[in-house]
Amino acid sequence: MNSFVYDIPVKVYFGENQLSHLGEELSRYGKRVLLTYGGGSIKKTGLYDAVVSEIKKAGLEFYELSGIAPNPRIESVREGVEICKRENIDVLLAVGGGSTLDATKWMAAGACVEHDPWEFFSQWAPVEKALPVLTVPTLAATGSEMDAGGVISNPETQDKIGRVAKPLLPKVSFLDPTNTYTVSPYQTACGAADMMSHIMEVYFNMETDLYMLDCFMEGMMKTIIKYAPIAMKEPENYEARANLMWTSSWAINGFTHGGKQQEWSCHPMEHELSAIYDITHGLGLAILTPRWMEYCLDETTVSKYYQFGVNVFGIDASLEPMAVAKESIEWLSKFFFETLGLKRTFTEVGIEKKNFAVMAKKACGGDVLLGFKPLRQQDIEQIFEMCL
Amino acid sequence: MNSFVYDIPVKVYFGENQLSHLGEELSRYGKRVLLTYGGGSIKKTGLYDAVVSEIKKAGLEFYELSGIAPNPRIESVREGVEICKRENIDVLLAVGGGSTLDATKWMAAGACVEHDPWEFFSQWAPVEKALPVLTVPTLAATGSEMDAGGVISNPETQDKIGRVAKPLLPKVSFLDPTNTYTVSPYQTACGAADMMSHIMEVYFNMETDLYMLDCFMEGMMKTIIKYAPIAMKEPENYEARANLMWTSSWAINGFTHGGKQQEWSCHPMEHELSAIYDITHGLGLAILTPRWMEYCLDETTVSKYYQFGVNVFGIDASLEPMAVAKESIEWLSKFFFETLGLKRTFTEVGIEKKNFAVMAKKACGGDVLLGFKPLRQQDIEQIFEMCL
């Protein structure tokens, strides 16, 4: 069992009507705010007005950057950095989905360096500091509101790269489940698949670690399985939206990791898909995950599948471990492709075989992905083929 | 479902050999350290020497206060306050069990005010600030290393009072499971009962709240039930000690509370027992909890017992809820009194009927304890009688 450091000092206001604290929290960090958001849906829902009203009430000056797209581009980050520098921004406020939050974090880091922000990804330039970031998420999925990571795409180089750096951790996040009421059933399903994957990337691990963390992960997976279908059918079900929202934060804020060292598997593979095909991240993960599970199942890994099947799906513990393992993959597939109604294959979403070699090579960094099972280029190509 | 604020910025170094970070962490807060500890067992185990060596390596000046007793007294707090003031202490380092940690937190608060520290309890004097506190716990039980509370006894007034105040939250805690290897089987059992109670006080609640938090609490209870007997039989079982240690912190750091408003029940009752009889806190809780559950069980509360019985003890979900509920109390009693080997009755630990009325009145503050079920003096007296 490895040692670890737990350090997640994000303050969270959870629930309805907490936005009245926004002004006081922003004010702790300065006077000049950059408000960032996506395609403008927050104007339709009234969230934009509510946020702006709180900023004004607190007597803060603010600038805006809108139009941050899903799978956010380095170009948006560059724009934000430019505003931060030009307008001497003190604090950034990201209102939107994971893409807006991720892009904003990298603007905050980019504002503190002289070089182009893509160098954080292309050259792994150090992230020593960042401007403070506050967030108001409108989607339960990426967990960006409580973690120190952000994923940025570069269409020119067909790269989509995630990186974690402590200074990117938001200072304060406002999690209001009602802000996710307008998320479509499809995006709710993709968000659920994304969260499941965040948990499974850590849970499927043969390192000895803390049982209490496994229990927590099983509880979160049960929560997603219970509430995602409810939120799809009843978009304004507060209980469902609240459970999904708090789970999305805890699925990836680092708590579940404990001392585990293992790399993630499905996320690096998926990033290559959406770098080229621009598909929704959660959808890509849903297609990949059960096939990856099939590929990794053998006598050395079966015990983890057994634990998953029994504790998450309630499969009969008296069955043979291998039978439980296979059944657990079926249950997960049923959840993704029947209950959530997501597409099951690459073919259905227009991903063709021709790019497999390139994508697989990139996913393992040209060498090996040290995930649940070590995956080399040919392993990843095989998993891709299983997804066709 | 109520809104809530999550804000637990405690940094935790978890695992073996993390003490090498102690000097750097203390140095963030100043140069003059007050090291506090209990009866000196840390000198026998070598922990004292290890801590002092790190303090010296960092070039810090340090003072000591030892002899902090279980159920820590206000007198120890006063002594610590005096040293802090006299020696211009910058930061306190508590090494020991929950009693040492609790007393140290209140020294840190007392050092920032002019009045006697007992006024924090007798007059509810405001706690606006405190000196920074770092902790090295040697027991998995109270969770004091990651919460903002502390319980102090006053033998003169026969009071034992707990109070929570944000400035008391430790800055950094070093959780090394090997520091709990020397905890006796009996104290390990009492610690396990204390943790179980911390979870159950929140879990047994009829307010609508987050299912994901219930799952987390069930996972922690299963962790305690699985590992406490192992730690008793194999005191140097790292896996068992590590699971108990991280669970003890998360059982009471506030995460499980979500938006629940309900007061605690067994803790206020137990505090009256140990205020007069000075019994171990966890033992008092073990005796009280199953009887309190019996007293509160009825048609309006049975669903919570059912959930507890099925999800924590694996009782057959197809049985009648009331049958599951009763069986769950039996399972818990079996765990406390057979597996952990704790005494089952007040009579066995020398608690007599003569003080019941006084203790019951104090426990409900002379009015009503708004716990799982509202408890007035006569209710509490009845629960006490059931414990005889």
pLDDT at A229: 98
Any A CB within 8 A of B247 CB: yes
pLDDT at B70: 87
Q: Say which of B3, B11, B216 has its CB closest to residue A216.
A: B216
pLDDT at A170: 98
- Interval B283-302 mean pLDDT: 98
Any A CB within 8 A of B250 CB: yes
Computed over every residue of chain B, the mean pLDDT equals: 96
The answer to whether B38 and B96 are in contact (CB under 8 A) is yes
Nearest to A89 by CA among A23, A25, A30: A30
Are A210 and B7 within 8 A, CB to CB?
no
pLDDT at A348: 96
| Ranges under pLDDT 50 in chain A | none
Any A CB within 8 A of B169 CB: no
pLDDT at A142: 92
Please report where in the chains the tokens 């998320």 appear, as a residue: A183
* pLDDT tens by residue, B173-224: 999 999 999 999 999 999 999 999 999 999 999 998 999 999 999 999 999 9
Are B223 and A246 within 8 A, CB to CB?
no
Q: How far apart are CA B24 and CA B50, in angstroms?
A: 15
Are B4 and A15 within 8 A, CB to CB?
yes
Q: How far apart are CA B291 and CA B284, in angstroms?
A: 12
pLDDT at B158: 87
Chain B CB contacts of A227 below 8 Å:
211
Best B8, B175, B212, B244 residue to mutate vs chain A (most A CBs within 10 Å): B212
The answer to whether A206 and A1 are in contact (CB under 8 A) is no
> What's the pLDDT band for B151 if we cut at 50, 70, 90?
very high
Nearest to A84 by CA among A58, A111, A103, A60: A111
Please report where in the chains the tokens 């962490």 appear, as a residue: B25
Percent of chain B residues past pLDDT 70, beyond the cut: 100
Nearest to A277 by CA among A190, A369, A153, A387: A153
Evaluate if residue B347 carries a pLDDT over 90: yes
Domains for chain B: give ranges and CATH numbers: 11-180 (3.40.50.1970), 185-386 (1.20.1090.10)
pLDDT at A278: 83
Distance of residue B255 Cα from the nearest chain A Cα, in angstroms: 11
Instruction: Report CA dihedral (B331, B333, B334, B336) to the nearest 10 degrees.
Output: 120
pLDDT at B56: 98
